[in-house]
Amino acid sequence: MRWLKNGVEVSREDFTVDAADPGVTVGLNAFETLRTYGGVPFRAARHFERLRGSAQALGLAWPGDAVLDDELAAIVQGLPAELGIRVLLTAGGARLLQATPLDMSMVQKPLVVVTLPYEPPSWLDGRAKHGSRAISEVARRVHSVDEVFWVGRDGSLTEATRSSIFAVVDGVLVTPPDDGRILAGVTREALLEVALPLGIPIREGPIRPDAPFEELYASSTLKELAPVVRLDGRQLPQGGTIGQALVGAFRELVVRECSA
């Protein structure tokens, strides 16, 4: 493991934030989670683009892409090839990077999910990835599930507590649209990208929680594409042919980009 605080490598004990920092007191912080493949961060530029947007939405200072690029290169140096990396910016000016060996048991792990009503407010929509996550974490704990799939006011699924949503219905790959209610995942974008040359029919549109799912997934940086095996108590297939094809094509994309 390795920790950087404002560009300086520190011990775990010194990897701290002032208790008066609004990033702690009111959750006014923005973060991104990246991972490496073979020691190379996957689509770091896209993650930092999203982080910049979140920082702007929250009124946080932006350190600059070059600063984060340098710190990302420093934190992965000499560490295991498969890492999870958290980048955190706080309203008090702290900039924290943490690199941890990836827990491979979480990659494509089958998920138990419940649905609950929630939609982000218009003044801080779903495109901002911030640290005010008590609603999500308590919901998962209270319901003893891996993820919660949020249901918007229109009755359709929007996103999960930590993931984007994909479904296969009538042979079509469906994912909720980037309409301001979701954080458009970097892995989500990559999966849509590789689906096109596979000839998989794609639709970005509403998904009802009671739809006749042939396959249902949550996608994220650390999960890749994880099958939902139970939704609101309903047993679902553990993946399927479209999901398998997507994972294979995604891994080929990763090899191309992280070996360049």
For residues 130 and 63, state if they share a domain. no
For residues 244 and 130, state if they share a domain. yes
Last residue of a domain, one of 70, 102, 134: 102
Q: Name the one residue in this structure whose structure tokens are 């949550």.
A: 218
Average pLDDT of the residues of the chain: 96
The answer to whether the CB of 158 falls within 8 A of the CB of 126 is yes
For residues 110 and 236, state if they share a domain. yes
For residues 73 and 151, state if they share a domain. no
What are the pLDDT digits (tens) for 37-89?
999 999 999 999 999 999 999 999 999 999 999 999 999 999 999 999 999 99
Q: Which two tokens stand for residue 204?
A: 């970005």
For residues 221 and 123, state if they share a domain. yes
pLDDT at 75: 97
| Alpha helices by DSSP H, the chain | 22-25, 44-58, 65-76, 134-143, 186-198, 241-258
Inter-CA distances, 12 with 28, 31, 95, 99, 189, Å: 22, 19, 15, 11, 34
For residues 41 and 77, state if they share a domain. yes
For residues 91 and 122, state if they share a domain. no
Q: What is the number of residues in the chain?
A: 260
- Res. 21 pLDDT band, cuts 50 70 90: very high
What are the pLDDT digits (tens) for 98-149?
999 999 988 999 999 999 999 999 999 999 999 999 999 999 999 999 999 9
- Please tell me the total count of domains within the chain: 2
Beta strand 172-175 pairing with 164-169: antiparallel
Q: Residue 78 sits in which domain range?
A: 2-102
For residues 83 and 13, state if they share a domain. yes
Answer yes or no: is pLDDT of 260 > 90: no
d(CA 113, CA 118) in angstroms, rounded, equals 15
| 237-241 mean pLDDT | 94
The CA radius of gyration of the chain, in Å to the nearest whole number, is 18
Q: How many CA atoms lie within 13 A of 126 on its CB side?
A: 22
Predicted structure pTM score = 0.95
| 239-251 mean pLDDT | 97
Domain CATH code at residue 243: 3.20.10.10
pLDDT at 74: 97
| 9-38 mean pLDDT | 96
